[in-house]
Amino acid sequence: MNKTDEINVEKKKFQNKKILLILVAVVLLIGITYAYFRVIKYTEEITGKIGGFDITYESSSEIRLENAYPIRDYEVEDEAYENKFKISNNGKKDIYVKLAISDITLSEVFQKNTSDLKWGLYEGTTKITTGGFEKYKDGDIIILPEVTLKATNGEKNYTLRVWINETYENQNNYQTESLSGKITAIVQGKSGNYLANKISEANKNNSNNPTFTNTSTNKGLFVLKDDVRQTSFGFPVYYFRGPVTNNYVQFGTYKEKITNTVYESSTSEGEEPPTVTSKEEDVAQINSPIIWRVIRINEDKSITMIAENDIGKSIAWKSETGTKYSESNIKTVLDKWYTSTFTETYLDSKVISTNFCNDNSYNSTSAASRINKTPPVPTLECDKEDIVNAKVGLISADEMVYAGALYNTALTNTSYITYLDNKTNFWTMTPSDSSNLFTWKTENVYMNNAASNIATDAAARPVITIKPDVTVTSGDGNKDTPYVLSAE
């Protein structure tokens, strides 16, 4: 019996899908020794449901290749790690599903060399498409084909396989390496009442880059350019900029009255600079609807939004480690607000846990450097160690710049002040140095910074992301007629 036969014997012993399969093999090929490679399969029944759409995984949504031995093309069907899953449509309308490998995580060697890592998507015994990981890094997304599922019992069965391709060269450096990711299915609507569609239909998209200067007169819905996320799901990211008035959304209700400090400025002939006054004002009553402003449409057509009003008077950042959001008082306040506000399951189920960026790197490419440039260079990319995954967070300084804000510089044409100016001072999640964070200063109509240990300088405006399949029941996005989201 040769070594390949030994592998096949071992696999036959562990074909029960309800156990953890560990395959250990010793393979000798052209003088190269591969010792104790393992392919690990995780097995648990998981079903995800979105409206009339179901996705059921035979094992789990996770793809994990760990210590795997290289294999040849004709061995892929039998030797590659595989995950079988089924997608189905029990609804009354045809739906369009974008399949993807998301949340990619690569170990150190694979980060430097992904040329031998391969994946393939199969429907039954038919190969749909294959590809590699050459262009991808941690956090990236690989797009798989779009699938049309017919209404009422539309169903398709797939197998996703990942493997190391045998090159007949020394590949011993892969022995302790790993790859992980998730099989993701995003329901898309090509027409209809999905919020992303409503926004797109109501706005002419600007495909040119805006001018990130104090003379900017940009306004509208822009396509994100020169950013890796532009092509993540085959759709671009769209973001609102300038004094737009048609990005209002109604979602949820306040559980307590909100009072805040509101700033107003006034000028008289010959008076320079303007006079700024402040006053306490009730901005929301108990059971009044929460109004949001759409920040952007993401590549998967989920929607990121910021609350139009703050959640109370100025809040201390107070992090024991300077500007770290994960250990801050403001995170505790926001989490408590979210839990007490979205108590209804149907509301909470529409909000996605998403990645917020708390950029603490302080190097030449960090937000602290990029936002200070003239013009600034915003991005939605974020180093892995600075990502905070949560259902609620704060806006980043980069998002503020995309929306029309600048650091320490006001626009010369005040008619183009960003829609984010709600006449209060509020925090961003972005450090400007090791002890300060960027904040919006409404009295100056630009971003400044505030110390992370102070209690009276800024308030908090929650930011959430809602699922792509949330539909609109009424409204056109204007202030008096916001998009009202379905309760179903």
Locus of tokens 């183009």:
416
CA-angle at 353, arms to 308 and 401, nearest 5°: 45
pLDDT tens-place values along the chain, 488 residues long: 443 443 333 333 323 322 222 222 222 222 222 222 323 332 233 334 445 678 888 878 888 898 888 999 999 999 999 999 998 888 777 777 878 888 888 898 888 888 899 999 999 889 999 988 887 777 777 878 778 888 777 889 999 999 999 999 988 888 888 999 888 877 655 456 889 889 988 988 777 788 899 999 999 999 887 654 444 455 678 999 999 999 999 999 988 877 766 666 554 444 455 555 666 777 777 889 999 999 999 887 889 999 999 887 678 888 666 888 998 889 999 999 999 999 888 899 999 999 999 998 877 778 888 998 989 999 988 888 889 999 999 999 999 999 999 999 988 888 899 999 998 889 999 998 888 899 998 888 899 888 776 655 688 999 999 988 788 999 999 999 999 998 76
In SS3 terms, 254-301 reads as CCCCEEEEEEEEECCCCCCCCEEEEEEEEEECCCCEEEEEEEEECCCC
Residue 230: CA atoms inside 13 Å, Cβ hemisphere, count?
9
What is the domain partition of the chain in residue ranges?
45-63+71-188, 198-485
ω into 375 cis (within 30 of 0): yes
What span, in angstroms and rounded, lies between the C-alpha atoms of 382 and 359?
7
ω into 274 cis (within 30 of 0): no
Are 121 and 160 in contact, with CB atoms under 8 Å apart?
yes
Closest among 168, 83, 157 to 120, alpha carbons compared: 83
Task: Give the CATH class of 45-63+71-188.
Answer: mainly beta
Distances (CA, A) of 167 to 35, 117, 127, 162, 372: 17, 11, 22, 16, 47
